[in-house]
Structure 1
């Protein structure tokens, strides 16, 4: 079995968990990581790692918005039961530990009562704070940008005014990784969106997409439009030729294609992000994206839809994505426009995560600059600015100390010594 050729750090066992998992502490900075033994069959990812895909998996799962592999840890004592003596050492991989739970946990905490109880998030202007919705939206889009395109966002800050007290965010992007094979997650839901607690001055910690058991590696490198990034939602082993034909048929026939043969694309995942944001804002699940399994109707429409037949069954309430957000007064128009865009992208292969981020970023900047909540929000850019300011203050203090010492030396050098002064 191949191994990760990564530098080893010192770790110590922190706490055993259920299911044979452990928490370990990295002694260099105190970071707590999740240790997963490789002799257990947890999921598809562990299976691939055990069978020689450790290096590719580490290269893929290496992004601040994905649950990432940190290191390979060997020779740690393995305890079967708390308090027992260690057995032979076991081999483990170290992963991000999401100490903030999942987005599903947050939604469960804020969910309306089962009987309604008069609680209507729309009537209250919205469910979750706009700052958190933006934070999750940008984090998931950055994670998908890496999976789909091999592109990372870059971060920079400059002073936004003469006082130097506020920073201006400078967003950039890396070039796509050479030979990148796009990956579709295929299971983007709230339970697979993991949250970390803040590590600096940020309002919220990192948002990390996990649960890669159903991921699909396209096997086709490059950005060429002749090779669409497409899979089946629940069917593996379909040839690229068949996938292309199904994609072309979907574009021609739409709902005339049986559900089991409809393509799953990058747009399917962007739509899934929109569905999560809709739930965070409206406090309820989005209706089925296509034919409802209960009544066969299509419950989602828009102002530019060619045709929509309203559902007359006692089923899910239909929504128009152009007007459903109107009562949500707690959110800016820019955020609503982003979600409306995402909810138009189901099975789309024209839009990319990079393009959506480029579209979303100016709206986020407007919110962050011109609203009270936005000015209070702190993210990775603010943390970078805070650290940069601290470094500048430290250098200034050091410079002042050095200048004071030099001035004192000059005073001694200029002093005239009398005959009665003893120099030792």
Structure 2
């Protein structure tokens, strides 16, 4: 297999696979050099010969060799590991999976010599295998929340940043679940023809991966590398990810997004750990009350991943973090409007066609009259300080565009303990991702903030145009 390294501009070249050629040329591995030590067992490295000195993080591989005192054995094991990861293509396989512009991806591997106080001949040195990762040099979303306190639940972080995180996480999940990435190509061979975007398969067969920990502390940022407003946004920490037995065949893209009857037609895991799926299937298909189950035993599907993205973006909009499992009392404090959003319906009856929520058509004192939940009420004995969050009311009052509010409401329109769990199931992710890209395009072209915002795609198109001009010259 051959693949190109990720570009720093945010749009990745698509790896090309030629399964018929058994005499493939070996891909030249990038060579890294250490710049400095960041902390214990973490180094900042760069590619040798890179004029931009793009920085990466290197840390000991979880599969690496640790010195045991027997230098001959260490050397033998290190050579065996290198053969396994390099000659037998295992490192390449892992890198192919964790190789996306919106994931904290593996950039390569390198050897690091462990120095001890005792002098050891070079022929018997102790080497440690280091994995080289993307460096999210701008911190994570949790740090951003801590740095900027919430002043009012009607508006928190800029809408452009909300879109940036939303699209990045949707693209990351589309890759993990479907094995598809968004690519750019010219409509024709003419370099002046419009740029088109498309979802392209990298593998013909892909086993869906559920991340199971999409939350602010695992959403990372890089500083801008070009003219874009925000640098790359990446999903990290794959320690809880589950590779499911659900195979996504790239050749049946015309298949409807509706999954076949039963949980066997979708990617399924338990919320935590690697446990037998019998109880999870029974809960998904039957009438088991999830409130009576431990959080880790509850079924987890693609729809839960989407809900986690919606919960993250809603927190960015309002400062309120919805959860079906309170960390303090283990109860659910999420509520919905049974009529689908009575505050917005009342506003529409008054002639409201406002772009932003929380307008004059929604008085401050109005409350939802149809608030419901499919979970038990948090009892007073829990003494929980968390207040119930009505998703529909919170979104109706948010001072964000109708495009974003509609999307986030759709992302969160799922209660795993409600009747929807039997009917709302997604077989594919990329159909959903395409709809989000269309909504973003509408916001980008029809609002002033969208027109002023420079995203990574804008920067990439500018670079492509400049490259085309240079080729002509």
TM-score, normalised to structure 2's length?
A: 0.68
> Which residue of 2 is the match for residue 68 of structure 1?
105
Say if 1:156 and 1:381, in contact at 8 Å, map to a contact too: no
For the pair 1:279 / 2:315, whether they are aligned, the reply is yes
Which segments of structure 1 move beyond 6 Å, counting only runs of 4 or more? 39-42, 49-52, 309-312
Check whether the contact 2:333–2:387 (CA below 8 A) recurs between aligned residues: no
SS of residue in 2 equivalent to 1:54: helix
2:337 to 281, 284, 302: 302
Aligned partner of 1:181 among 203, 207, 213: 207
Q: CA contact under 8 A between 1:73 and 1:92: conserved in structure 2? A: yes
* Residue 207 (structure 1) shift: 0.9
Q: Is the 8 A contact 1:270 1:345 kept in 2?
A: no
Rate the CA distance shift 1:6–1:173 in 2: closer, same or farther, 3 A: same
Partner of 1:375: 451
Displacement after TM superposition at 1:26 (Å): 1.2
Per the TM alignment, residue 79 of structure 1 is displaced from its structure 2 partner at its CA by 5.9
CA contact (8 A) 2:31 2:110 kept: no
Report the equivalent of 2:393: 323
Q: What's the CA shift for 1:234?
A: 1.9
Deviation at 1:363, TM superposition (A): 1.7
Q: How many equivalent residue pairs? A: 362
Is contact 1:67–1:209 with CA below 8 Å preserved after alignment?
yes
Greater Rg by CA: 1
In the alignment, the residues of structure 2 paired with residue 295 and residue 39 of structure 1 have an alpha-carbon distance, to the nearest angstrom, of 33
Q: Which moved more, 1:343-352 or 1:363-372?
A: 343-352
Partner of 2:232: 206
Instruction: Please report the RMSD computed on the Cα atoms of aligned residues, expressed in angstroms.
Output: 3.3
In structure 1, the partner of 2:149 is 111
**Cα separation, 1, equivalents of 2:96 and 2:290:** 38
In the alignment, what sits opposite 1:363? 439
Partner Cα distance (2:387, 2:195) in 1: 41
Summarize the Cα distance change of 1:289–1:15 in structure 2 as closer, same or farther, 3 Å threshold. same
SS of aligned partner of 2:100: coil
Match of 2:348 in 1: none
1:353 and 2:429 aligned:
yes
Q: Does 1:28 align with 2:46?
A: no
- Quickly say closer, same or farther: Cα 1:307–1:9, change in 2 above 3 A: closer
Deviates more, 1:96-105 or 1:257-266: 257-266
Other-structure match for 2:157: 128
Measured in 2, the distance between the counterparts of 1:292 and 1:200 equals 40
* SS of aligned partner of 1:279: helix
In the alignment, which of 275, 282, 290 is matched to residue 237 of structure 1?
Answer: 275
Q: Say if 2:405 is the partner of 1:336.
A: yes
> Can you list the C-alpha shifts for 1:105-151, whole angstroms capped at 9, x where unaligned?
11111123xxxxxx3242xxx11111110000000000000111111
Name the structure 2 match of 1:404.
none
2:95 to 47, 58, 67: 58
Query: How far apart, CA to CA, are the structure 1 residues paired with 2:64 and 2:443?
Result: 45
Q: 1-side partners of 2:334 and 2:126: how far apart?
A: 57
Contact 1:25 1:32 in 2 (8 A): yes
Deviations 1:178-208 (A, max 9, x none): 2211111111111111111111221111111
Per the alignment, residue 175 of structure 2 pairs with 146
Q: Secondary structure at 1:173's aligned position in 2?
A: strand
Per mean C-alpha deviation after superposition, the further-off stretch among 302-311 and 145-154 is: 302-311
Q: Distance in 2 between matches of 1:105 and 1:298?
A: 24
Q: Is the 8 A contact 1:194 1:208 kept in 2?
A: yes
Please state how far the C-alpha of 1:92 moved relative to its aligned partner.
1.4
1:247 and 1:39 map into 2 onto residues whose CA distance is 34
Residues 253-262 or 25-34, more deviating: 253-262
Q: Which runs of 5+ in 1 are unaligned?
A: 43-48, 113-118, 159-163, 399-424
Do 1:270 and 1:346's aligned partners in 2 also have CA atoms closer than 8 Å? no
Cα 1:308/1:36, change in 2 over 3 Å: same
**2:246 aligned with 1:220:** yes
